[in-house]
Structure 1
Amino acid sequence: MHCEMVWQIENDLDFKTVENVILIHRFPIIDLCLSMGDLSLMGVVADTLTLPNDIRDIATRYSTLTIDNLAKSEGRRFIRSHLPISLLSPSFFQSGCKVIYCARNPKDLVVSYYHILQFFKPKESESVSFKAFWNAFRSNWTIYSPYFEHLKEAWKKRNEKNFMFLFYEDTMKDLKQGIVNMAEFLGKELTNDQQERLVDYLNIDRFKKNKSVNCQHLCDLGVASTKNEFIREGGSGGWRKYFFGDLEVEVEEWISENLKNTDLVFPKD
């Protein structure tokens, strides 16, 4: 949601473009470009299926998501990453780019991560219980782990120029204020009407149905599950359906241990 918020603010609420260009093509993920090799294979997959032209075009366009193309692109660029700051360019904070780091309470994050696994790898994840996934996550066996080292790196940089550290929970609690804060950081001014329109556009019930962001095309291409959703509930506190009893004790102890000697406090959900 934050990526779409940023793109819309910077592009003066261009809802028309969104109808034809999915988020990943407007806001590519640099680690995806690095890890997936030749993304033109998406086009190869599309050629083996009977698909509408718009889905075929989306698949073919994945081939443009390369590091070389990102480097050559002109004008303002929008780039996402799940990588920790220490694995990004050493000139990260001297380049003049605006950097936004979105942190999320690990209890909700691990639940979301578990469901993302089911969306992208349904066959492999069907036999994986939530408890097993939680154990892998806290043992740093999942991609982009370890979570707390990732988080602490960003927290230490929170006062750097052009760097915004925010909590997912704060945005979801007051979406309009989150939009105001983001616009201020980006140096953009939105009228109250624009703010309200963006709040409506980002409303979770509408957002789930937005084909530009909900990865429906991946289901059409057969590389994601039609039984699961990429965008599920939004909000916070959903962890209570998964962490209870001994698991809740485990996760609270894990958080407390890892936040020792820091002043980082997660928002209450």
Structure 2
Amino acid sequence: MSEGGNTSYTDSIQRAAIERFPLINVRGVPLMNYIANNFDSIWDFTPDPSDLLIATYPKSGTTWTQEIVDLLLHNGDAEICRRAPMTERIPLLEIFAPPPIPSGLELLSKMDPPRVIKTHLPFQLVPPGFWENKCKAIYVARNARDNLASYYHFDRMNKSQPDPGPWEGYIHKFMRGELSWGSWYEHVKGYWKEREERNILYLFYEDMKENPRREVERIMRYLELSLADDVIGRIVALTSFESMKDNPMANYTFIPERVFVHSISPFMRKGEVGDWTNHFTPEQLRMFEEDYEKQMNEFDIPFRTNI
């Protein structure tokens, strides 16, 4: 996309009335009011069978996975994958915001299948057309401790989400599922339960950090692609945290500062496994782990909090 296209997109955000939007429950899941008020049209969305869904709880490696997929689909061509900001290349299905910002549905309506579509919706809120049409879906999960820490800093810098308040209170909001897109626990469990029946490729952030080439190849095989070894190596390099942090089409610096205040916390902050150790006090960790065991005791999902 031309520079003019990029400017038009950011200009629309500049002109919109941005505020910290309140949350409204949709079938028990708190969503930002613009999303909640338009949920019927989101639920009615019918994807093409060739469309691919990338689903995550926020701050679980979403942008990383999007960039990997885009590069795989374009044979590792970095220039093609800088054709537009990530929000335009792979729209967030459910996003609605004040005019003139285009909704995810508007952006998707202007794209020809096969499309790659992003969502943070928990499994039960994903439009049923994805499963009826047997679309492929990739889910990425991140361990709760790191996910909590990353989401906290994102909510600090994202002026459209509810004010996170202090860290010690945010922990309780996370445990109770009182954040945008709801409960982390229900999110990761929902897709885990359905992964085999729905042919969902369920990935772990920690595995991607530990051996990115192995996980890129897993995604490639799931997409039924076959790329040369040197192309895979190039994709791994282009999707390293350092490379993506310097990529203006992926690092969200294209979102105006009045919405994403990178001086508070950059969108791409650390990208580490184990950063949670810099946040939890011993007492907070004991409390969190007690609650975690209660919420996850019937599920043996192999999360790792360090690698």
TM range (shorter): 0.7 to 0.9
Contact map agreement 1:122 1:225 (CA 8 A) in 2: no
Give the superposition deviation at 1:162.
3.4
Give the superposition deviation at 1:68.
4.4
**SS at the partner of 1:102?**
strand
Alignment of 1:62-101 (within 5 A): 63=102, 65-71=103-109, 73-101=111-139
- Residue of structure 1 equivalent to 2:180: 143
Change (3 A) 1:66 1:28: closer
Contact map agreement 1:155 1:165 (CA 8 A) in 2: yes
Give the superposition deviation at 1:219.
3.6
Give the superposition deviation at 1:172.
1.0
Q: Which one-letter code corresponds to 1:17 in the other structure? A: I
Distance 1:245 1:87 in 2: 36
Distance 1:135 1:12 in 2: 44
**SS at the partner of 2:132?**
coil
Cα RMSD for the two superposed structures = 2.0
Give the superposition deviation at 1:37.
4.7
1:226 paired to 2:262: yes
Give the superposition deviation at 1:18.
3.0
**SS at the partner of 1:80?**
strand
For structure 2, the residue ranges without an aligned partner over 5 or more in a row are 1-63
Give the superposition deviation at 1:145.
1.3
Name which of 247, 252, 258 aligns with 1:215. Answer: 252
Distance 2:106 2:229 in 1: 40
Q: Percent identity?
A: 25
Distance 1:196 1:13 in 2: 9
Distance 1:145 1:162 in 2: 24
**SS at the partner of 1:235?**
coil
Q: Which one-letter code corresponds to 1:114 in the other structure? A: Y
- Residue of structure 2 equivalent to 1:58: none
Distance 2:88 2:160 in 1: 24
TM-score using structure 1 length: 0.83
Distance 1:30 1:209 in 2: 26
**SS at the partner of 1:135?**
helix
Name which of 192, 210, 213 aligns with 2:229. Answer: 192
- Residue of structure 1 equivalent to 2:216: 179
1:264 paired to 2:304: no
- Residue of structure 2 equivalent to 1:49: none
Distance 1:73 1:264 in 2: 36
**SS at the partner of 1:217?**
coil
Q: Which runs of 4+ in 1 moved over 4 A?
A: 122-125
Distance 2:97 2:271 in 1: 27
Name which of 143, 150, 167 aligns with 2:204. Answer: 167
Contact map agreement 2:138 2:200 (CA 8 A) in 1: yes
* Larger proportion of helix: 1
- Residue of structure 2 equivalent to 1:106: 144
Distance 1:123 1:144 in 2: 11
